[in-house]
Chain A
Amino acid sequence: MRPLDEKETTMVFEKLFKFTGPNLKHLLERPAVEGPDPEPGRYCLRLHKNRVYYASEALVRRATAVARPRLAAVGTPIGKFTHHGSFHLTVHALDLLAAHARRRVWLKPDTERSFLFGNSVPKSSLARITENTKSGDGVVVMSMSDVPLGFGIAARSAQDCRKADTNAVVVLHQADAGEYLRKEEELM
């Protein structure tokens, strides 16, 4: 377990910034009320075996007691670095992103299943979309009952969505909650 390099931090922040925007500051500076300490600490990012974890200071301090080969995870995993050094957000970050993301997309109830199987979102499944979404923005996909299903990248801006074809792709799939079942072995 080690803190991130400057280059690595830039990569992680840029990916997160696509979803959260200026909220990213809040993500890093919110008080972490974990542990028995009277003053809440902050959250920090740690790298362990090519996976990036988001954990509170108190947790990280205690995790140093575990030997490196035996440490499985610390806090919430948010993504992993691939073999050649690029960073991808994984589905574990869904909770965090859903709480802090700026743009959301709501799916019609019948079409949720398609997204949960790993397909991109066509315009026909779209029920609602946040107004000022631009193309290339990170977007959290929710069901009509406000349950986060996954996240992806908006392929078109909100205005373009209205003019688009019914089968045109609106959200490019990045991760969904169905991966917990489909990619059970890969995720951990």
Chain B
Amino acid sequence: MAEEAAATTAAAASNYEVDLGNLMAYDPSHHLAAAPSNREAMREECLQKATELAQAVADVLFALPPNEARDGPLVRLPPPNTRLPREKHLPRPKPPTKWEQFAKMKGITKRKKNKREWDEQTQSWKRTYGYDRVNDDRDIPIIEAKATDEPGVDPFAQRKEEKKKRVEKQEKNRLENLKKAAKVGALPSHIQLAAKALPITGTKADLPKKSKKEDLENVAGMASTATASGGKFDEKLPGEKPPKHAGKHRKFLPVVEGKGIGNLEKQQYDKVLNSILAKNSEDQLDVGRAITMYKVKKEKQRSKDKDRPSKSNNKLKPQKKGFKKSSKKNA
């Protein structure tokens, strides 16, 4: 009986699906034997099954060839082969825009425009949009006056106004479409991101910056000491706390720079070390004395070299006669 049980467990073990990428083992042929009596028994059974599965994972894991790393054997797990369900929902279908509805109703289909078009005004090939474009307002030299025109009205300015209005209308329609899409939850992602960052009206500059407690305290401290006598003799309001940084605000080196010790700190250590070592060093070279000794030595050598040739020609050199006459009086 025991052998049979062992055999069945062995057979079952080989059928576990082990996904090493997720460190997971799955037994497709497992079902709980008829509803266990109480919670404790169920727990025991679950634990036992879990132990078997964990054992299966460990077996496969330690069967992989290890690489020796500094902290012990290291193994690279293979990519996972269980597909996990989607984290976020599928993108929702956009509601049709106002133009799309109209086009559908009228049966208008999209037609492809060419990049270049023939411009009648300038008699040349021009782009459909952008820099050098067809039907540009600036290319019109003359606008003929119509009967309905009032004198004193600038037709060019009028054209500009009309264009502006058209653009504004288009912008309004675009926003309406986006609002409709937002209602359903189908905003395009780039707009959704932008919308969260900006305030409802205005631009980014209008976002109120929350002043932190430290900023307020700093400013309060600065303001309180910005008097002629440094804020010493001012009466404190009821409930006002004394300033935190009493005295000059010192500047320190950063705690961690790069890997830990920065250049500045190293320099400081070296400087202090060298000054202490130099002060207390016993075999300190007296540089001044050494220089003097060297100089004296050099002088001696030089005078020696000079004397040598002069010693041989003593006879040719004028004999030095004393100018002082002897005080022998001729008696």
A residues in contact (CB < 8 Å) with B: 1-3, 5-6, 9-10, 13-14, 17, 21-22, 24-25, 28, 36-38, 41-42, 44, 46, 56-58, 60-61, 64
Contacts and interface: CB of A to CB of B under 8 A. Distances in A.
A27 B254 CA distance: 22
Interface in B244-292: 250, 252-256, 259-261, 265, 268-269, 271-273, 275-277, 280
A41 B280 CA distance: 29
Contacts of B268: 6, 9
A3 B265 contact: yes
A58 B260 CA distance: 7
B255 A1 contact: yes
Given A24-B273, A28-B273, A5 B261 contact: no
14 contacts: A2-B252, A3-B252, A6-B272, A10-B276, A13-B272, A13-B276, A17-B277, A25-B277, A28-B269, A28-B273, A41-B261, A46-B255, A58-B260, A61-B260
A56 B269 CA distance: 15
A41 B276 contact: no
B206 interface: no
A36 B265 CA distance: 23
A46 B269 CA distance: 12
Contacts of A3: 252-255, 265
A9 B274 CA distance: 12
B70 interface: yes
Contacts of A41: 259-261
Interface of B: 70-71, 250, 252-256, 259-261, 265, 268-269, 271-273, 275-277, 280
B251 to A, nearest CB: 10
Contacts of A64: 255-256
B276 to A, nearest CB: 5
B265 A44 contact: yes
B256 A36 contact: no
Contacts of B272: 6, 9-10, 13
Given A24-B273, A25-B273, A36-B70, A42 B261 contact: yes
Nearest to A24: B273
A38 B69 CA distance: 11
A34 B151 CA distance: 90
Nearest to B269: A28
A61 B273 contact: no
A57 B259 contact: yes
A36 B71 contact: yes
Nearest to B252: A2
Nearest to B266: A42
Given A2-B255, A9-B269, A22 B260 contact: no
B282 to A, nearest CB: 10
B255 A57 contact: no
Contacts of B280: 17, 21
